[in-house]
A and B are shown apart, each in its own frame.
Chain A
Amino acid sequence: MSIDIEAIERSQLKEDVPTFQPGDTVKVTVEIKEASGTGDKRTMRTRTQAFQGLVIRRQGAGARETFTVRKISFGVGVERTFPVHSPIIKDIAMVQEGDVRRAKLYYIRDKVGKAARVKKKKLTG
């Protein structure tokens, strides 16, 4: 790849991305832009929203890297995929580290209730 493209990709990266991996439960704080009113009264305002759930996938590299968070909302499974370096992500907070044996936790989708949990990571090695 050309040096110029590498430089562009590097400039897109955030420096303060916390470490997290599939199996971890995280709370992602997302900034949302909303428009209210019409015509001259139209104003943009931003608010933040949290999306908390289990990281079931992390894929890609560089600016293209994304991760998927799954949560159960009102009995319905909801998955949301974020670019890791997206400017709308204000914070990724670790809620609980998980202990899993695979990189993609798609099997969780077919599990319900108690079976749909991930072991908590033990602090000892």
Chain B
Amino acid sequence: MGKAILGEKLGMTQVFKEDRLIPVTVVKAGPCVVTQLKTRETDGYEAVQVGFGEIPGEKAARRESGAATRRRPAVNRPMEGHFARAGAPPQRFLAELQLDPREFSAGQRIKVDEMFAEGDHADVCAVSKGKGFAGVIKRHGFSGGPGSHGSRFHRAPGAVGQCATPSRVFKGKKLPGHMGTEKVTALNLLVVEVDPDRDLLLLRGSVPGPKGARVIVRQSVKTKAGKAKR
């Protein structure tokens, strides 16, 4: 099985590589901690559940009833038990990664450089930025009409169907509607640099989602190296 890690999108910048300035997205990748192993025997499939973003002790701590503050603890009782069982500190995010559970043990920490090296190709899954209720030009790439010269057809969707037959609009017709906040995967991004000291991953090009978005970086599935490992 492949390689993967959880992280947070920090933003974009440009770096010089082989004398050229190239655009990169900086991802704070890991350190992650293994919170559960999913095996074929117990779960019917194989995966590794990892956590990312440690919750500081005082935020996770449970208060005695009648304590001065009424603030809810960041970790509820079921999750507290889940983390305790793995021997892992409470984590902000959990995700299942398609890793081989035989290679990991609960509570184990995963660093970026164990997963990726410079020159690898990676895919990044994240939830894209919300665009709200978008028209057909933004949402489906329609061309739109002329801006002027007497034209009164600008950004409208145009005709949506035929006449008496079929006298209905076909299902799946591209129309305005909600756009964004969906899971998007950016494929085959080159790993430009790995910084294990600061847990950073520099990926060529853009990555879905806003700054601060939680992202899953995995070994790319469409390159030769990625296919061979599957």
Contact = CB atoms under 8 A, between A and B. Distances in A.
B13 A9 contact: yes
Nearest to A60: B14
Interface in B1-29: 10-11, 13-16, 19, 21, 26, 28
Contacts of B202: 8
B26 A85 contact: no
A44 to B, nearest CB: 12
Contact of A4 (B10, B15, B16): B10
Given A4-B26, A8-B26, A85-B16, A63 B200 contact: no
Contacts of B198: 4, 7
Interface residues of A, number: 16
A1 B21 contact: no
Contacts of A33: 19
B121 to A, nearest CB: 21
Name the interface size band of chain B. 10 to 19
Nearest to B193: A8
A87 B10 contact: no
Contacts, number: 41
A5 B21 contact: no
A83 B198 CA distance: 27
B16 A8 contact: no
Nearest to A8: B13
A63 B16 contact: yes
Given A9-B13, A63-B16, A86 B28 contact: no
A88 B19 contact: yes
A4 B27 CA distance: 10
A121 interface: no
Interface string B180-220: 00000000000000000010101000000001000000000
A9 B15 CA distance: 7
A64 B28 CA distance: 22
Contacts of A8: 13, 15, 26, 200, 202
B11 A1 contact: yes
A12 B15 contact: yes
Nearest to B198: A4
B19 A2 contact: no
Contacts of A1: 11
A4, A7, A63, most chain B CB atoms within 10 A: A4
Interface in A11-26: 12
20 contacts: A1-B11, A2-B26, A2-B211, A4-B10, A4-B26, A5-B13, A5-B26, A8-B13, A8-B15, A8-B200, A12-B15, A33-B19, A63-B14, A63-B15, A64-B21, A83-B21, A86-B16, A86-B19, A87-B16, A87-B19
